[in-house]
Chains A and B, each alone.
Chain A
Amino acid sequence: MPALEMHEVNKVFGTGHTMVEALDKTNFTADSGELIVVVGPSGSGKSTFLTIAGGLQTPSYGEVMINGHNITQMKEKKRSHVRLHEIGFILQASNLVPFLTVDEQMTLLDKVKTNNLSEDELQDLYQSLGIEPLRDKYPSELSGGERQRVAIAKGLYSDPSILLADEPTASLDTDRAFEVMKMLNDLTKKRNKTTIVVTHDTRLLDYCDKVYAITDGEIQLQQREHGNS
């Protein structure tokens, strides 16, 4: 059973003149242990694709299955439960709570959900992201890149089976961007997760198992000469 499965999904905004097909009819699957990059220019439908995959919006047509559960039919309350337990989001805009320190961002998840990372695992995560010294800082005291890395830590802390990242490296320099990708790749492999990264940054393709290109809402698997495995 694939971790994520999209069946005949499309998304249309508006009607008549103003109609935009943000996502064409899409069939897509992602398995455990896979790191997938979806690359495309601005406005091509990356965020639309990712938010539908994560149950943040419903498709106009078609079905989305997460670990075998059809989330398209679910009420928001139930989908929110699936998001909390199955999905880790790393959003384009910073997703940190301004009045919580780095550590407290994680504690918040402890308040609403069990089975998060252990203290040791969190420590490792912090270390690999290079944010260990920042644990007691507030988001306003962090640089853009540091915030992004904390956001990644937050996305991983709940130990989701699927990790969805929207431009996770947008505010990072090349070295950091590579490091983050390497880390996402490691985590995906070690913890057998499904990671989907959408980006316009073509530098990131070296670290993934599959590359999809998206243009004008049309998503297509790219053939590559060599993977990284």
Chain B
Amino acid sequence: MFLAWKEIKYNKLRYTLITGVLVLVSYLVFFLSGLANGLEQLNREAVDKWNADGIILTEESDINLPRSNMNIDDFNGKGVEAYAALGQLNAIASVGERQSNVSIFGIKEDKLIMPDVTEGESFSEKGEVIADDTLQEEGFQIGDELEISSSDTVLTIVGFTDNARFNAAPVLYTNMDTLQQVRFGEAADNNEGVVNGFVVRGDNLADVSVDDELQVVETSTFIENLPGYTAQNLTLTFMIYFLFIISAVILAIFLYVLTIQKVSMFGVMKAQGIPGKYLAKSVVAQTFQLAVAGVAIGFLLTILTGFFLPAAVPVAFDYLTMLLYGLVLIAVSVLGAFISVRTIVKIDPLKAIGG
């Protein structure tokens, strides 16, 4: 648009400032969305990897895997396509000075939960584990003998797998016997068959009948109930939505002040017969141009920052989400311009020209 662009060119500083605000807001929005996405992945990666439709937990567990305890014979796979028993334990693994939170998964070498080994080999002997490769990034290696907190058992890393974090902790996959050993030590024999849940795959989970003390939970519900997951997501989403409102308000105020300053100029143009619609369109077009520029620069800055972030920062950019948020930012900015449109439409050319 002619007027919009000419004015931006003439008042470079003014419009650079407005664009600057938009750049910062969109940078923050993109970054937060990356953080939200990263934190999400951190929590659910291992669950996504199961590619399962649901999980069977005890009623009293409050959909919390570690707190759910049942016997391996409690479910026999009736009514589902595939299932796998899962034992799970949170612990701290250490080798010398190096230590890390881990989530130990005890599994049968069942296809459902068994991860693909990306390096090394799969566990076969008692005490062998496959570890998530973030542990590798932290310096753990194949052959490392891990001491496990509150247990005398020593676990040996024999292989690595990728994308295997559960509730923010890297997963160690091992067989049921090893997990029993870690969990119960000497008392392992007395606690035979204890598992935390069954991961199931099937179309009609609602129809699957289980014992009274058990419940079938859909995977999405299970994920939402991971400790901290929903709270974290809500907080970040709330911040992002709030930023949308902030950017709309800031821009609306900016544009409104500018419009007020230009009332007499608009009035003169209206006196001349230039339609108010043309002038209003020009302001909207101007906002659109500024918003697109601001969001685009914010986007590039975010991507650029992504390259320099240490691996420890849990940021993972999801371009589709970013694109969506970018569009929302542009949309709310343009919305902000509409307050000014009203003002322009109402300008009385006579008052504006004086004389």
Contacts and interface: CB of A to CB of B under 8 A. Distances in A.
B355 A84 contact: no
B6 interface: yes
Contacts of A92: 353-355
Interface stretch (B73-81, B85-93, B274-282): B274-282
A91 B355 contact: yes
A87 B350 contact: no
B350 A56 contact: yes
A93 B354 contact: yes
Contacts of A91: 268, 271, 353, 355
A144 interface: no
Interface size class of A (residues with CB under 8 A): 20 to 34
B348 to A, nearest CB: 9
Contact of B273 (A85, A93, A104, A111): A85
B271 A95 contact: yes
Nearest to B8: A99
A55 to B, nearest CB: 9
Given A108-B3, A138-B10, A97 B275 contact: no
Contacts of A167: 355
Contact of B2 (A83, A89, A108): A108
Contacts of A99: 6-7, 9-11
B349 interface: yes
Contact of A100 (B6, B270, B275): B6
Nearest to B276: A80
Contacts of A84: 272-275
A98 interface: yes
B2 A107 contact: yes
A142 B10 CA distance: 16
B18 interface: no
Given A112-B278, A138-B10, A83 B273 contact: yes
A111 B272 CA distance: 13
Given A108-B2, A112-B274, A97 B353 contact: no
Contacts of B9: 99
Contacts of A47: 355
A57 interface: yes
B6 A95 contact: no
B6 A56 contact: no
Interface string B329-355: 000000000000000000001100111
A81 interface: yes
B276 A95 contact: no
Nearest to A46: B355
Contacts of B276: 80
B330 to A, nearest CB: 24
A166 interface: yes
B353 A80 contact: no
Nearest to A101: B6
A85 B273 CA distance: 8
Nearest to B10: A99
A151 B7 CA distance: 19
Interface residues of B, number: 24
Interface string A154-171: 100010000000110000
Nearest to A140: B10
B265 interface: yes
Contacts of B354: 92-93
B355 A56 contact: no
A4 to B, nearest CB: 16
A117 interface: no
Interface in B12-34: none
B269 interface: yes
A83 B355 contact: no
A82 interface: yes
Nearest to B265: A97
A215 interface: no
Interface string B110-146: 0000000000000000000000000000000000000
A87 B353 contact: no
Contacts of A109: 272, 274
Given A97-B265, A99-B10, A112 B275 contact: yes
Contacts of B278: 111-112
Contacts of B11: 99
Interface string A26-57: 00000000000000000000010001001011
Contacts of A85: 273
Contacts of A56: 271, 349-350, 353
A80 B7 CA distance: 23
A93 B353 contact: yes
A82 B271 CA distance: 11
Interface of A: 47, 51, 54, 56-57, 77, 80-85, 87, 89, 91-93, 95, 97-100, 104, 107-109, 111-113, 138, 154, 158, 166-167
Q: 3 nearest interchain CB pairs? A: A84-B273, A99-B10, A92-B355
Given A77-B275, A89-B272, A91-B355, 12 more contacts: A80-B274, A81-B273, A87-B273, A91-B268, A93-B264, A99-B10, A104-B6, A107-B2, A109-B274, A112-B278, A138-B10, A167-B355
